[in-house]
Amino acid sequence: MKFSDEFEARFAEMAPHYPTKRSALVPTLLYAQDEVGYLSDEVIAEIAGRLELTELDVRNVISYYSMLTTKPRGKYNVQVCTNIACMLRGGEEILEHCKKKLGIGHKGTTPDGLFSLEEVECIGACSWAAAAQVNYDYHENLTPEKMDRILDEYRKKGTQ
Ligand code: FES
């Protein structure tokens, strides 16, 4: 399979910084996932080959990290924290609000492929609870109204 020139440039720059090829696995998987949207069988085979690993080695690592997925997700992956700090500051309400607004449940994807939703454990933003992460962006001190505005902005951006 062929990745973009941008992926190849990032991979070429990053790989020599690691003591073994295997150590570059997680960042390589993240780059590939950002580019393809998920870690398909083809991507797994390609990365295993490059890093001199078996496909099973790669799949084992993927299954360990919740941010890695072998299934297609929406363009915007909305991860709502319901761990203790967020729970005390309305995290569960935010999650329920997102479920209703997007019409999907935990690990669901909207039919237009724009949003996926996930309930997650602490994302390290406890001081600004309730918090959610959309792809690599954090959103904090959430209320249902604020979450509405955030989702509307992503919808606008994603359909332009
Ligand atoms: S408990 Fe939600 S970010 Fe830590």
Instruction: Write the CB contacts of 66 (distance below 8 Å, at least 6 apart in sequence).
Output: 118, 120
57 to 44, 61, 63, 134: CA distances (angstroms): 10, 7, 10, 28
Res 66: pLDDT: 81
Res 107: pLDDT: 92
HSE-up of residue 119 (Cα within 13 Å, Cβ side): 16
Sign for the pseudo-dihedral over CA of 24, 52, 39, 37: positive
Pocket probe mutation, ligand 1, options 80, 94, 123, 139, max atoms within 8 Å of Cβ:
123
Instruction: Write the CB contacts of 76 (distance below 8 Å, at least 6 apart in sequence).
Output: 114, 115, 116, 134, 135, 154, 158
Cβ of 85 below 6 Å from ligand 1? yes
Which residues of the chain fall below pLDDT 70? none
Res 60: pLDDT: 97
Summarised one tens digit per residue, pLDDT across range 44-54 is 999 999 999 99
Instruction: Show the tokens assigned to 47.
Output: 């990365």
Summarised one tens digit per residue, pLDDT across range 118-138 is 999 999 999 999 999 999 999
Report the first-to-last Cα separation within the chain, whole angstroms: 29
Res 126: pLDDT: 97
Q: Name which of 76, 75, 73, 117 is nearest 99 in CA terms.
A: 117
Query: Which one-letter DSSP state was computed for residue 109?
Result: B
Pocket probe mutation, ligand 1, options 83, 120, 127, 141, max atoms within 8 Å of Cβ:
83
Exposure letters 21-50 (e unless 16+ CB within 10 A, then b): eeebbeebbebbbeebbebbeebbebbbee
Res 67: pLDDT: 85
Q: Where are the alpha helices (DSSP H) in 37-143?
A: 41-50, 55-64, 84-88, 91-102
